[in-house]
Structure 1
Amino acid sequence: MLSLPQRIVVEITQMPILKNPSLICGFPGSGFVGKLAIDHMIEQLKAVSFANMFSSSFPPQVLIQPNGTTDLMKNTFYYYKGETSDLVLLGGDAQPVTPESEYEMAEEITKICDKLGIKTIYTLAAYITGTFTKLPKVYGTSTLEQIVKEFHNYGVSVMNSGSITGMNGLIIGVGKRKGITGICLLGETSGYVVDAKASKIVLEALVKMLGLQLDLTEISKKAQDTENLVKTIEEQMGHRTTGESLHMPQHDKKLGYIS
């Protein structure tokens, strides 16, 4: 069988000049936890796009835009200029579907980090439990032990086992080898629904760490929609939970894998 080369194409419209920037990534994954979070940040901060990233390892489809046109699947870089430091936000439509292209994309992202002077990467992801939880937690890991020791200041529980799959994990691992500090914040989610509640608690932890002012009104409304959906699912399953969670038997909670 003929093996075609995989390609990553980065189209930069204008490279911004930033002061002390950090990169925040949220890719589509389980519960869309990271994507909902980063999309909310982009909208609320009125971040400006400056580059698109395309991959031949994205799903082979085009997306219909609000104006009725079509476009290839892509991930997009945005920037936001703050009072004391700036942010680069990376979100988009998909993650690559092969390990080779995931590593290649992570390398390309760190190249852009180098051009912009980015020394810290935050990724926003999902901590999958297979359980509907009334009081979900935020878990965290970092490439620096000192940062891990400070998680308790922000209400973040330390991950001390398991793995982080996909781009939300790979980027901080590749960045570590380039001298970039990596932090991953993970919202606890069942993995069965689009979980804005998990996105909201991740954002709450992130803004504390960054000292950032961010309006969470819209994501809070979506989080309430998630709660209503879970309640409906519980009722349809005939469960009236008296504790904190509803367990779904077909998922192994000990996996603790992340996306």
Structure 2
Amino acid sequence: MARISVLDDDVSLSEPTLVEGFPGVGLVGKIATDHMIDEHEMVHYANVHCDGLPRVAVYHEDDSAVTAPVRLYADPERDLVALRSDVPVHPNAATEVANCLDSWFDETETFPVFLSGLGREKGEEPPALYGIATGDGGDALSRAAVDDPSESGLVSGPTGAMIAAALERGRDAVGLIVESDPKFPDPEAARILIRDGIDPIAGTETPTDGLVDQATEIRDAKQQLAEQMRQATEESSQAEPLKMFQ
């Protein structure tokens, strides 16, 4: 049964901005979302129980309590919600998960910010960031001075399914696409996502220097999940260019 199970009824939100962190290329969405949850000391607000999500239980160090693999964290002061996912979503389940979350977006009048990595080999220049939008989401991109895409492309996985659902329903939403390491976790690309995309759109100020300083630690912590992504890249959310023959 699809539902969002609220754990803290004292949390009050009014048309919140949601930052989505399903794992994908470079784990940029997950790294950025996890970092924002930690930096803003966001509270565990709800568990996500959607048809299509893996039926697994998650536990953490020094805590015997288990929790759901996909969770929502909230910062009522900033009217901010972050989706933290500890599991990839199978492509066959992406639409079910998108529809489940879309119902909650309706109920809470949420403005979603979807995150995706575009696989690029690392170079000397900082990774480029692009924005896409549905409904009137383009206004938020303009205010944040996020560039338009420099090439045609598509977004797949659960992130792509949620953007497609927003398009179908005429929902205001934005997608942020950042060039990311296609093989390893990329905290630098996650930093660009936060600094140049999420913060200007959500009106937040998130310290990000630690992301680069802790790149080695983050890489070690995420390595197992990155390996899962490499073995089943079709299950991850990612952006990719459209080839000429498509």
TM-score range, shorter chain: 0.7 to 0.9
Q: For structure 1, which runs of at least 5 residues remain unmatched after alignment?
A: 1-6, 228-253
Q: Please, what is the CA RMSD of the aligned residues?
A: 3.0
Question: CA shift at 1:81, angstroms?
Answer: 2.2
State the partner residue of 1:81: 76
Equivalents in 1 of 2:161, 2:186: separation in Å? 22
Question: CA shift at 1:134, angstroms?
Answer: 2.5
SS in 2 for 1:156: coil
Equivalents in 2 of 1:73, 1:153: separation in Å? 33
Equivalents in 1 of 2:58, 2:144: separation in Å? 41
Identity of aligned residues (%): 21
State the partner residue of 1:67: 62
- Pairing 1:209–2:194 present: no
State the partner residue of 2:86: 93
State the partner residue of 1:111: 103
State the partner residue of 2:236: none
State the partner residue of 1:13: 7
Answer whether contact 1:140 1:151 (CA < 8 A) is retained: no
Q: Mean Cα displacement is larger for which, 90-99 or 142-151?
A: 142-151
Answer whether contact 2:58 2:69 (CA < 8 A) is retained: no
Residue pairs, 1:79-158, within 5 angstroms:
79-82=74-77, 86-99=79-92, 101-118=93-110, 120-129=111-120, 131-135=121-125, 136-144=127-135, 147=138, 150-151=141-142, 154-158=145-149
Letter in 2 for 1:86: D
Letter in 2 for 1:11: S
Question: CA shift at 1:159, angstroms?
Answer: 5.2
- Dislocated runs of 4+, deviation >6 Å: 224-227
Count of matched residue pairs:
220
TM-score by length of 2: 0.76
Q: Mean Cα displacement is larger for which, 105-114 or 150-159?
A: 150-159
TM-score by length of 1: 0.72
- The verdict on how the C-alpha distance between 1:32 and 1:213 changes in structure 2, with shifts beyond 3 A counting, is same
Equivalents in 1 of 2:75, 2:216: separation in Å? 28
- Pairing 1:256–2:241 present: yes
Letter in 2 for 1:13: L
Letter in 1 for 2:207: D
Letter in 2 for 1:134: E
Answer whether contact 2:141 2:201 (CA < 8 A) is retained: no
Equivalents in 1 of 2:24, 2:76: separation in Å? 27
Letter in 2 for 1:196: P
Letter in 1 for 2:7: T
State the partner residue of 1:231: none
